[in-house]
């Protein structure tokens, strides 16, 4: 394989760099380029690294543990069929949701890593949506990856091997929809629909988060460090529940317009009509 092909193959991997600030950018760019290029790389055979974690919170895994911050409302089955109400903020250029019910309920102040999500289908959805934003921030991505990745050899390998400094300039991504593919209280499979642009090329992409309830919070399961996320280009948003900051703002705007119109209609109906008398005046 030529040097040109080798470089192209590296970018077509549907993976992300955990500790370089390019998590979202590489996932997206890889999927965009994969439309026209294949991946001929052999699977990695590197031995897992035992590099110690830099995160101040690293408890032992326990799928039956209570919430790490005492967040109540455990739900052990169900799904999410409508977009939950949320407050939206931005981390860089990517919007993320927060909720006093579903989380995040706490933040590591030293590195601004948001954590502690409710053990519920909505909590898993909020965890995945926050991961989309936190994974793209160079200032907190390493601490976030150390906390959010579930324990295992793949986590150690990702944290050890992907530590270069790379810019995410020129890329934009935002959440526009979701599907909760499965949920049983211990695990959740959340499919996020995203839209944005990389190097001037727009895209619509599906990113699937395989989550496990570990140490009192939702964590991302990674089996293959070369493909930590299942990401793929999609033609449209068919089958997804519409959800995201811009879409939520539009919905609220439509609701406000509807209420204003309804209020004006009520005012018109409640105003006494003035009819002209048809009786001739008495002479």
Helix %, strand %, coil % for the chain, to 5?
30, 25, 50
Q: Are 28 and 173 in contact (CB under 8 A)?
A: yes
Reported confidence tier of residue 121, pLDDT bands at 50, 70, 90: very high
Residue 283 has pLDDT above 70, yes or no: no
* CA atoms lying within 13 Å on the CB side of residue 251: 13
What is the H or E stretch that residue 134 is in?
A: helix 121-134
Question: Nearest-CA neighbor of 157 among 165, 168, 167, 145?
Answer: 145
**Which is more confident, 266 or 226?**
226
Q: For residue 45, what are its two tokens?
A: 């055979």
pLDDT at residue 25 in the model: 44
Between CA 233 and CA 274 the distance in angstroms is 62
pLDDT in tens, 250-259: 544 444 555 5
Q: CA 154 → CA 62, 94, 197, 201, 250, distances in Å? A: 18, 27, 29, 31, 40
Task: Calculate mean pLDDT across residues 80-94.
Answer: 94
What is the H or E stretch that residue 114 is in?
A: strand 113-115
Which range is most confident: 35-44, 66-75, 199-208? 66-75
pLDDT at residue 16 in the model: 40
pLDDT in tens, 212-244: 999 999 999 988 877 788 899 999 999 999 999
What is the rounded average pLDDT for all residues in the chain? 74
**Which is more confident, 11 or 78?**
78
Q: Are 198 and 28 in contact (CB under 8 A)?
A: yes
Residues in the chain: 283
Tokens 């919070």 -> residue = 217
């Amino acid at each position: 394989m030529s040097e040109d092909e080798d470089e192209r193959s590296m970018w077509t991997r549907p993976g992300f760099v955990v500790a370089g600030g390019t998590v979202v950018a590489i996932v997206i760019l890889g999927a965009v380029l994969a439309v026209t290029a294949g991946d001929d790389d052999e699977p990695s055979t590197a031995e897992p690294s035992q590099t110690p974690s830099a995160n101040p919170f690293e408890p032992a895994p326990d799928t039956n543990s209570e919430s790490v911050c005492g967040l109540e409302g455990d739900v052990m089955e169900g799904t999410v069929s409508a977009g939950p109400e949320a407050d939206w903020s931005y981390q860089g250029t990517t919007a993320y949701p927060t909720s006093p019910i579903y989380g995040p309920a706490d933040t590591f102040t030293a590195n601004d890593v948001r954590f502690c999500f409710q053990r519920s289908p909505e909590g898993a959805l909020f965890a995945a949506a926050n991961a989309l934003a936190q994974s793209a921030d160079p200032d907190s991505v390493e601490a976030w990856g150390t906390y959010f990745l579930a324990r295992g050899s793949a986590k150690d390998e990702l944290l050890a091997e992907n530590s270069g400094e790379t810019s995410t300039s020129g890329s934009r991504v935002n959440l526009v929809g979701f599907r909760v593919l499965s949920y049983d209280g211990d695990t959740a499979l959340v499919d996020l629909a995203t839209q944005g642009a990389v190097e001037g090329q727009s895209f619509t992409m599906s990113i699937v988060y395989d989550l496990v309830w570990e140490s009192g919070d939702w964590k991302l399961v990674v089996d293959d460090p070369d493909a930590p996320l299942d990401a793929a280009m999609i033609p449209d948003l068919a089958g997804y529940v519409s959800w995201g900051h811009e879409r939520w703002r539009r919905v609220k705007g439509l609701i406000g317009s509807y209420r204003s119109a309804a209020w004006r209609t009520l005012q018109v109906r409640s105003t006494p009509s003035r009819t002209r008398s048809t009786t001739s005046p008495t002479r």
